[in-house]
Amino acid sequence: MKVKAIDHVVFNVRDVDASAEWYEKALDMERHVSSSDDGPIRMSMIFGPNKINLRPISASQEAWFTARTPTSAAMIFAS
């Protein structure tokens, strides 16, 4: 498999709304909220074709499939 791009990056944050507000004001990113019937509400920051997901540090690991340490991150590749 050859990686073509990074689909999105996940940042673990203490306060999702405060973090989203900072990305909006400081970097002019667009806030996008999504949800599904079987999962948590997800906050994403969109800039061009790129996306950063803001994961609350209090979220369960099972719900997000990433580490629970503040400032840790996950990177998802597109193929």
Number of domains in the chain: 1
At residue 8, does pLDDT exceed 60? yes
Q: How many CB atoms lie within 10 A of CB 73?
A: 14
Range of the domain at 35: 5-78
Q: pLDDT, tens digit, for every residue of 18-55?
A: 999 999 999 999 999 987 666 678 899 999 989 999 98
Whole-number pLDDT of residue 33: 93
CATH code of the domain in which 52 resides: 3.10.180.10
* 50: β partners: 47
Reference 10, options 63, 1, 48; nearest CA is 63
Whole-number pLDDT of residue 70: 53
